[in-house]
């Protein structure tokens, strides 16, 4: 088996092998537009591409080193770890963070640690997620929902809330406005305007992104960006107005997102994260978790986040510095 960088002419082969939109060729192009150093590696047997993944390298402020990040890739094996070590040395990486798009398996932790990977001190993607099976009928999907969720969907419909999908720049500006209204109101750190614009421009042109807008009395109340790749449609980003909460526009837009996924032939609706099964109501994300849970999804757990340490003497220092940085940002926020 040979491991090498994937060529531009192998784009279609690459997309047939990877399993998550974050690993898609188009997402990699978006990351490049953000100015990041991105590398795509492929494992080949002859001319056949067996496995592929892309990762980014991020410069560490005040240090001459980088940190690698490989989200939603395949389950690591010895050949992959060997290739990452070689690439990491070339990129002067202190460590590479790995978050496989692989559901938790028996002895998964042991298998990861046998490869020299250590449980990470910080996760970027959640270890848990909600997935909805879109092969079910609409009646089956409605029956699986929490009664309160079905009730709220009915309220929105009776109140006259309307939902439409769009790829227009005008509606993207509506989405952006509602997104930043939400981050400010709920006091969390969202992505920048540039980030959202480049995601939108790159993936929309590839027919991998669209918007859903919910309106009440002609006024936009909720806007979601939906992504799609392979057989999956994803709900990664959204925003809402603080006005007219009583008309339950968020409940209806979620249902229409599910219906849109079915209409377009997707098999899975990925809700982009969840809390653990024993989540407490005091968790700041509990309300969002409960909202998603109302739609009757499957609650899944991934193998988790692991680090491939390449510069042991720097590893703890960089993690402490990152922790202090986020403490400072939260205090300032």
Q: Can you list the residues of the chain whose pLDDT is less than 70?
A: 106-107, 189, 321-333
Containing 322, the helix (H) or strand (E) segment is helix 312-332
Q: Do 211 and 175 meet the contact criterion of CB atoms below 8 Å apart?
A: yes
Question: Per residue in 184-238, pLDDT tens?
Answer: 888 776 889 999 999 999 999 999 999 999 999 999 999 999 999 999 999 999 9
Q: Do 123 and 301 meet the contact criterion of CB atoms below 8 Å apart?
A: no
DSSP string, 171-231: HHHHHHHHHHHHHHHHT-----HHHHHHHHHHHHHTT-EEEEEEEETTEEEEEEEEEEETT
pLDDT at 172: 98
Containing 158, the helix (H) or strand (E) segment is helix 147-159
pLDDT at 333: 52
pLDDT at 62: 77
Q: Which domains does the chain have, with CATH numbers?
A: 2-125+302-332 (3.40.630.30), 128-301 (3.40.630.30)
Q: Rounded to the nearest 5 degrees, what angle is found at the Cα of 228, between the Cα atoms of 225 and 233?
A: 85
pLDDT at 332: 55
Sign of the CA dihedral with 259 first, then 262, 266, and 268 last: positive
**How far is the C-alpha of 59 from the C-alpha of 68, rounded, in Å?**
9
pLDDT at 106: 66
Average pLDDT, the chain: 94
Q: Give the Å distances, CA to CA, from 149 to 160, 287, 296.
A: 17, 13, 9
pLDDT at 217: 97
pLDDT at 110: 75
Q: State the Rg of the chain over Cα.
A: 21
Sign of the CA dihedral with 308 first, then 128, 262, and 211 last: negative
Question: Per residue in 312-329, pLDDT tens?
Answer: 988 987 777 666 654 554
End-to-end CA gap in the chain: 50
Q: Give the Å distances, CA to CA, from 296 to 60, 136, 144, 239, 305.
A: 42, 12, 5, 22, 26
pLDDT at 166: 98
Tokens 């029956």 sit at which residue? Answer: 143
């Amino acid at each position: 088996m040979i491991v090498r960088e994937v060529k531009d002419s192998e784009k279609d082969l690459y997309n047939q092998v990877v399993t998550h939109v974050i690993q898609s060729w188009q997402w990699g192009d978006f990351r490049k537009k953000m100015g990041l150093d991105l590398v795509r590696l492929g494992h080949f047997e002859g001319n056949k591409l067996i496995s592929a993944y892309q990762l980014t390298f991020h410069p560490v402020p005040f240090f001459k080193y980088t940190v690698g990040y490989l989200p939603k890739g395949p389950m690591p094996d010895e050949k992959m770890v060997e290739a990452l070590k070689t690439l990491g040395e070339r990129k002067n990486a202190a460590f590479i963070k790995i978050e496989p798009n692989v559901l938790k398996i028996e002895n998964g932790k042991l298998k990861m640690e046998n490869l020299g990977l250590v449980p990470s001190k910080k996760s970027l993607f959640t270890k848990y997620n909600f997935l909805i099976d879109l092969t079910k009928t609409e009646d089956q999907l409605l029956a699986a929902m929490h009664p309160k969720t079905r009730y709220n969907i009915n309220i929105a419909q009776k109140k006259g809330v309307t939902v439409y999908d769009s790829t227009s720049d005008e509606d993207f500006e509506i989405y952006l406005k509602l997104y930043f209204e939400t981050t400010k109101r709920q006091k969390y750190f969202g992505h920048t305007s540039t980030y959202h614009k480049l995601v939108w421009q790159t993936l929309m042109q590839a027919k991998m992104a669209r918007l859903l807008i919910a309106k009440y009395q002609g006024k936009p109340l909720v806007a979601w960006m939906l992504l799609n790749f392979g057989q999956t449609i994803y709900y990664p980003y959204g925003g809402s107005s603080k006005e007219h909460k009583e008309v339950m526009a968020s409940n209806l837009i979620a249902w229409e997102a599910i219906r849109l996924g079915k209409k377009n032939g997707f098999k899975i609706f990925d809700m982009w994260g969840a809390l653990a099964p024993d989540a407490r109501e005091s968790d700041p994300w509990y309300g969002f978790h409960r909202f998603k849970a109302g739609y009757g999804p499957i609650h899944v757990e991934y193998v988790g986040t692991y680090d491939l340490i390449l510069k042991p003497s720097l590893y703890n220092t960089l993690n402490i510095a990152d922790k202090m940085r986020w403490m400072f940002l939260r205090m300032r926020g």
